A and B are shown apart, each in its own frame.
Chain A
Amino acid sequence: MLPWLLVALLGLSVAEVAAHVRIRSAVPAAADHRAAADFVRAGFRPSEAIVAAPDWHDPVVRRQLGDLIGFAAAGRSDLSRFDGLWVVAIRGARAWDEPDAAPDQQREFGGVTVRHYPLTPAPITHDFVATAHDAKVELDQGGDRPPRPCRTVDGRPGPGGGLGKAVIAPARRAVCHDKKKQAFVAPLVMEDLELRPRHCIWQPALGPRPLRVTFDDVPLGQRMVLHGGLYYEHERMREGPPVHVRVLVDGKPRGRMIHEDGDGWVRVEFPTGGRGTGGRGQVSVEVSSKTGRRRGFCWEATTRADAGGAK
């Protein structure tokens, strides 16, 4: 064996060089990405979502098609809002929420594969994130004191940015505390415990007294689907107290979520007490916790006309 060790080593060396060349030659060319993007652009409808697979490929897809990718698609909790899905994939990857069914269209552009799936959207009667700016925001004061309304501002975005800063206050938000930079309510995109983007209403727990967001005249449908979670760094140490979320419809508690650190992005579903598409009512979402420190909660919800069972 030993006399042939050199030959074996030389063989390994040649194989490593060959593998190196093969890996590099498998990288899709820029022209492939452009051709794939042109194909998607030609068939895309605004009610559809475009996603990348694998996840790390996402910036390249957003560079090509980002003007067609809204926050709802980029920060989706599920695909219930969309009637079609375009997956721009490389390396044989699948998107994390790609349907199991066969695509109705599939095209290869060099190393880039485009797949299209028709989807049946959920019968959404109301999207709370889309109407967040119309909501009334107030901080419960406790006892008999009336709640303190949060001040709506529409000016410049908040300062800063960077690691550990959670979120930047968007230009338009309801400010609930002048000295606490993150004590505001606004729709934005936040990273959850898995570092995924989530398009949601930033509504941090400011302490034991609830921060309340109230939506008037909401088409109630039959049920409400709510997703929520904490900002990555507030949740990852698993040392904070639970965040309590209570949903009231016309003043009556209808749903709740008790979010423990480590739960990540959680889905809850409950009946609204409405009947199909006809009923309307006032919906309040209250968020509280034992402490107001590092409890950056964000949620998104829809009311739906069906009785449930769909994703």
Chain B
Amino acid sequence: MSIAGVRTGRRDHLLGAALCVGYIALLVATAGDIGMSRDESMYVRAADQYARWLQLLVDEPSAALQRGNIDRYWKANREHPPLAKLMFAAGHLYDAHVSASDTPSLAYRAGGMLCAGLLLWLIYVFGAQLYGRGAGLMAALLYALLPRPFYHAHLTCFDVPITLAIVFCVYAYYRSLLRQRWLAMLGLAFGLALATKHNSWVLPGIFLIHFAWVHVMQVRTGHDAAARVGRNPRFLWVMLLAGPPILLALWPWVWNDTAARLGWYIAFHMKHDYYNMAYLGQNHFWPPFPVSFPWVMTWMTVPLTTLALALIGVGIEGRQMLDRLRSRTPAADPRQPAVLLLGCMLAPLVMISLPSTPIFGGTKHWMTGYPFLCIFGGLAFMSAVDWARPRLAAAASVLRGPVLPVAAGAVLLLPSALETAHSHPFGLSHYGVGAGGVPGSADLGMNRQFWGFTTRSVTDYLAEHAPPGARIYICDTTGGAFRMLQRDGWLPDHLRPTGHIGNADFALVHHEHHFAEVDHQIWSTYGSVRPVHVLTYDGVPIVSVYRNPRIKR
């Protein structure tokens, strides 16, 4: 029995749109629990600058296009291309001029949440076209209920937008192999991906490898001339010709000194700084990094049922491919989508496995592979249901029709739903059953968090105990992130962030291995090892709060 894709239509897009809207609603409802993270605060600062430039462009176009103003407003965060930050700026401008919400962070985060919702829509459509509606729906839900991507889906960051952009590129490339009108969409998608994040640089290489494989398989198994993928890699010319101009057009910073500024941007990422990351009891800060890191982290952070489904999906496709090779039977789809999915799923993990690639971003750096993992999961789900249906339905007539897939899908999604619900709002601190849960991950010496976003989870304590005008040493949280907590109403305005432990009334420590240093600085300065409050997650310390006994108010 093989699972076949369907031609998607309006009803499918309605379902995709419902997934999109539902997910965004869930993200909006839960966003307030997640404090602004370190990187978000930097992108908010950049978005504010870009928003000012956009305002100037509307008010005085000629002034906005002067080099002095471009440099002034676009220098911020020039190590990343502009598209996602333009979305964040648009959210902020909308909020400032139209909605005036009382949670400004939500306005900046709206663009990322929109991308997360659109990603589900796209996963559903892509999955349905490849393996049928049940598989597409299951794939979208499996992705929606991945704990770490659920956390990232809330943020003013690039990781979810680039995941959307890459999946869109893959989809457009796949469609373009038999329908040339999709080439234009591929060019546009690649340009947008380039303008979102540098993860996109590798896409032409992945597509070329896949394209070569398609032709090898066409030679080995044969195909009708009408159904063949052409020999000319038109996709490549389109990507190379359309992608960079779109990046340049969207990024005013590189309109002047183009070669030098693009060169600086590329060099920044080719020679990126290394930051600390705890892994299996070691604090890694310098290459070589452990090859096993992304694989073990995936095992520990993706629900095991989802992983099992994905592996079975890969196995099903692998077995079918071997059968075809043995029998020299052409595939139903000459574009060999399973190979494309597998390549896109594995490529980010393989890249992070290279000992020289920084690992400080944790799972977000290979999150772009997860939509494909979930599509394989959808395939396995529907295959398992189809194989089981005749036997189970014979035993119990109630299992005919949609009851079996709905009931089985609900059970298979239950671990993901539980883990994701439990991961909130700690996201980056969450580990699943593969690690023995959060306490098991602490036993194993895994990274507990980064970005200082968990300050949000001690705001109630600070609001209650900090006297007026108190200074708070905010550890890994940035001043911008702290002020956003105040703007959102989670912290009183009278509290002041400080970088000086000795002058602070309260000091925070975000527990990561290497932040032990800050604990010890506080002990020595305050003369005590006793925190006044310890935030825990499943018993594992996340944030310690110390009160400075030397300052009396």
Contact = CB atoms under 8 A, between A and B. Distances in A.
A13 B525 CA distance: 50
A69 B519 CA distance: 14
Interface string B260-302: 0000000000000000000000010110000000000000000
A179 interface: no
A84 B433 CA distance: 38
Given A3-B388, A62-B531, A161 B522 contact: yes
A71 B433 contact: no
Interface in A1-34: 2-7, 9-10, 12-14, 16-17, 19-20, 23-24, 26-28
Contacts of B539: 27-28, 57, 60, 90
A69 B530 CA distance: 8
A170 interface: yes
Nearest to B523: A189
Given A23-B440, A66-B529, A12 B388 contact: no
Given A20-B433, A162-B499, 11 more contacts: A3-B391, A9-B312, A13-B305, A27-B539, A60-B534, A63-B532, A90-B539, A163-B518, A170-B525, A189-B523, A195-B516
A4 B385 CA distance: 10
B392 to A, nearest CB: 8
Interface residues of B, number: 72
Given A13-B415, A59-B534, A161 B500 contact: yes
A9 B138 CA distance: 14
19 contacts: A3-B388, A10-B412, A12-B304, A59-B519, A59-B544, A63-B530, A66-B528, A66-B530, A71-B524, A93-B443, A161-B499, A161-B518, A161-B522, A162-B499, A163-B514, A165-B517, A191-B517, A195-B283, A197-B520
Contacts of B240: none
A206 B418 CA distance: 55
Contact of A16 (B303, B380, B436, B534): B303
Contact of B308 (A12, A71, A190): A12
B516 A197 contact: yes
Contacts of A96: none
Interface string B482-507: 00000000000000000111110001
Interface string B116-156: 00000000000000000000000000000000000000000
Interface stretch (A115-123, A152-160, A258-266): A152-160
B408 A91 contact: no
A188 B516 CA distance: 14
A281 B531 CA distance: 40
Interface in B415-459: 415, 418-419, 422, 432-433, 436-440, 442-443
Interface residues of A, number: 64
Contacts, number: 189
A6 B408 contact: yes
Interface string B360-374: 000000000000000
Contacts of B167: none
Contact of B309 (A9, A63, A91, A233): A9
Nearest to A24: B538
Contact of B433 (A19, A75, A163, A190): A19
B541 A59 contact: yes
B75 interface: no
Contacts of B439: 23, 26-27, 91
A13 B392 CA distance: 18
Given A16-B304, A168-B502, A59 B520 contact: no
B411 A13 contact: yes
Most chain-B CB neighbours within 10 Å: which of A16, A20, A156? A16
Contact of A91 (B443, B520, B531): B443
Contacts of B234: none
Nearest to A27: B539
Contacts of B303: 16
A233 B439 CA distance: 27
B502 A159 contact: yes
B458 to A, nearest CB: 13
B529 A74 contact: yes
